[in-house]
């Protein structure tokens, strides 16, 4: 290692997709990067903030596609830091919301490489907000759950069962493949008419939104050909979306 190199790592949250939602502190970090390791769910337009001579390395991390393992990413991060200096680990959303950010922080510190964290706007809050759906609202929701739809063993999270029994807003990430099972969980506790929404590619130019109820959300997702990455929202707050009343009228007319 060059003795003049000062290895360090910045874990940077890129936000939900719109490059304009990156924080100013995030821009400054990219401007001083020697290496950028970026995920599939980060907008490549953000790489323009990094110096032209900086090394940019795509490390994947999207379901169904070839990607580096987490262990490989950890090692790349350290190797680049020791050999080049400042590594910006650019991650979609927020590094610590299902981003495995702490695993990377822990690995770097085990090599005595300094780490700083710059939060990003998590899709779990930012995407509903962009759709004018508040995750909390006085009289409707006093709290919200953010849950992974699929655990490491491929099953739906047990927390979904608990969340369905609450009055909280339930936001589920990485849950589109499990939608039918999740719908059954809500139906089983008598919430077939609970408002629900699914947002594909939230905050981007290819964003798609489906608004319905638990009972009909799966059919609507199929009709609109919604694909991952998508975010699921269940709760009375979805009824605040401007189009929800029209959805209810539409299904009332059909029935």
Does the domain spanning 123-254 belong to CATH 3.30.950.10?
Answer: yes
Assess if CATH 3.40.50.2300 describes domain 8-118.
no
Residues 151-206 have pLDDT tens digits of: 888 889 999 999 999 999 999 999 999 999 999 999 999 999 999 999 999 999 99
pLDDT at 123: 97
Res 182: pLDDT: 98
Peptide linkage before 130 cis (omega within 30 of 0): no
What was the pLDDT predicted at 253? 56
Q: What pLDDT was estimated at residue 154?
A: 84
pLDDT of residue 60: 82
The model's pTM: 0.92
| Catalytic residue (one of 18, 39, 77, 191) | 39
Whether 94 is a known active-site residue: answer no
**Contact of 194 with 236, CB cutoff 8 Å:** yes
What residues pair up with 213 in beta bridges, in sequence order? 195
Can you list the residues of the chain whose pLDDT is less than 70? 1-3, 61-67, 248-255
Rounded to 10 degrees, what is the CA torsion of 82, 84, 85, 86? -120
Give catalytic status of residue 191 as yes or no.
no
Q: Report the chain's mean pLDDT, rounded to a whole number.
A: 94
**Quick one: how many helices (H) and strands (E) in the chain?**
8, 10
Catalytic residue flag (residue 61): yes
List every span in the chain annotated with CATH 3.30.950.10: 123-254
Q: Indicate where the chain has its CATH 3.40.1010.10 domain(s).
A: 8-118
- Given the residues 91, 94, 174, 191, select the one marked as catalytic: 174
pLDDT for the residue numbered 245 = 81
**Active-site annotation holder among 18, 61, 77, 91:** 61
Token pair for residue 129?
């907000």
The single-letter DSSP state of residue 137 is B
Q: Residue written as tokens 């979904």?
A: 160
């Amino acid at each position: 290692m060059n003795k003049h190199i000062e290895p360090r790592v910045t874990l940077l949250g890129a936000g939900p997709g719109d490059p304009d939602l990156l924080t100013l502190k995030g821009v400054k970090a990219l401007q001083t990067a020697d290496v950028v390791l970026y995920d599939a769910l980060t907008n490549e337009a953000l790489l323009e903030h990094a110096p032209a001579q900086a090394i940019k390395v795509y490390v994947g991390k999207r379901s169904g596609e070839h990607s580096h393992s987490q262990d490989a990413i950890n090692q790349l991060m350290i190797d680049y830091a020791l050999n080049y200096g400042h590594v910006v680990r650019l991650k979609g959303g927020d590094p610590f919301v299902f981003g495995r950010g702490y695993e990377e922080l822990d690995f770097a510190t085990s090599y005595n490489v300094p780490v700083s964290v710059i939060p990003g706007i998590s899709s779990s809050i930012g995407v509903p907000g962009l759709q004018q759906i508040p995750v909390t609202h006085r009289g409707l929701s006093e709290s919200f759950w953010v849950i992974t739809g699929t655990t490491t063993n491929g099953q739906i999270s047990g927390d979904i069962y608990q969340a369905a029994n609450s009055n909280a807003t339930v936001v589920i990430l990485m849950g589109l493949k499990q939608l039918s099972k999740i719908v059954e969980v809500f139906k089983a506790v008598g919430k077939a008419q609970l408002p629900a929404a699914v947002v594909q590619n939230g905050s981007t130019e290819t964003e798609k939104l489906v608004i319905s109820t638990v009972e009909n959300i799966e059919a609507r997702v199929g009709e609109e050909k919604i694909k991952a990455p998508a975010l699921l929202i269940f709760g009375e707050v979805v009824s605040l979306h401007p189009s929800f009343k029209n959805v209810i009228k539409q299904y009332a007319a059909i029935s």
